Chains A and B, each alone.
Chain A
């Protein structure tokens, strides 16, 4: 028998968390829909390698599946993988992290970013976020109950963080500083001496440094430096890294966090109640990539470097002033001279010449007047895109 009841109109909005409802929408979303409608557009808007994961890594994963590796793993990640991460980090940065309690394997670096904020922030704690930067830090801080304090980096400083740029943003509530170098979207890096310049301030205000180094292996001129390498700074730095960019493994979702055992322990606590563990097949692939993937990794880096030279000199040649990006795979040319906003430029370039780039303001207010162009695409497409942009500029 059917019971008839009076049901008021369903209002899903009223059931949402206020915090989530009030999160600013991603600026990239709107643009994604726009580009998706356009057939045949050349996309310089992709934030991932255009290489397929090297075959030996895929093959190792297939073999692990054939062998029946389909179970959960230790929350922290498989011991062999943590060992491999420790060795890789020692080799790349000269730093020692104990696989037992200083390394956590996460489901992509994105999870590690989220965990770092949730494990360390109390309601109202402030985090300094230098912009332009990757789009997830600010929402992740808000979701963790913290308060983001965005500060601008400037083209005149090579988009690096300086003591002068962060000092005004520091208050009694400041808990942490986010560093993300090599930087998405600017391609800027911070050298060891650039990092030294802000270390005193970090110590004076007892800040935690959350250092997203996912593009660290993709540093073309100069050497990648980590804040954790500075004397006495290792314990107050959480390094976040992963294999997505260096080993062309975005879809595998393997990241990791390195740091003080108590902080890694706190992050692991959240991880075990939410993610439980990263997928075992991806962990098996990651072990292969870290143990035997250096040659392929360097080959891809070399190809990015060729494209970087080709593309950046091309941008400057056609009248899109661009500082030399020293890391990641993005160029960040200025369009201030055109008088157009980043969004207007990007939208018209897409409609008129079918080239997709990402407006710089998506990465923070200080990105206004710039475009992010990814050169993780084929040389032929880069050359064609440069031609089309030149035509577009000529008709402005």
Chain B
């Protein structure tokens, strides 16, 4: 019995060691782990840099915070355009980008792309409510298209640049409309069609400044916010009467 446990322990240790060795094949980090959105924010770039050991290709997947997202379709009814059909998808990343040093199809085989959700076609988007299979396909495509129109899903994969054969860097670009929340940046080291190492780094994008405080206040203390909004308007209205009393 003891011997058996010992064997398991040795096996686990070996696994952990090999894992550590694998992890050392790939080291990556961001120039910044926090993006602050302030007034006049027009988008930003964060640089991802790293090093690999033993050669290979790099694929980076950037996933924004996940939310339930509703896709609606307008139809013309009696001359007026109105929303007639909709499908809600659960856990949709609000931002999605893929970067690689070569076309992704050439680096990663289809089954691994599917498994790790690499590429728009492999995003797992499940309906939050019951929907017809035909609708799901159509609205899934529309969801991706609309996210691309809004600049939140990359139309084309970005590039990872190698400096020599060990060091690499990539620029992660975020538009002005970037949603706030916690982003996950997954870095995959691929060798001969196999993912030999992977690393996930978080990136937090948040609003700061007066606008963020107001937004926070409105969301978290809604009743008080409403009362303050009414009070401010009332004071302004009363002040106006006072100012113009003698005019």
Tell whether A and B belong to one assembly. no
Q: Mark A residues whose CB is within 8 Å of B.
A: none
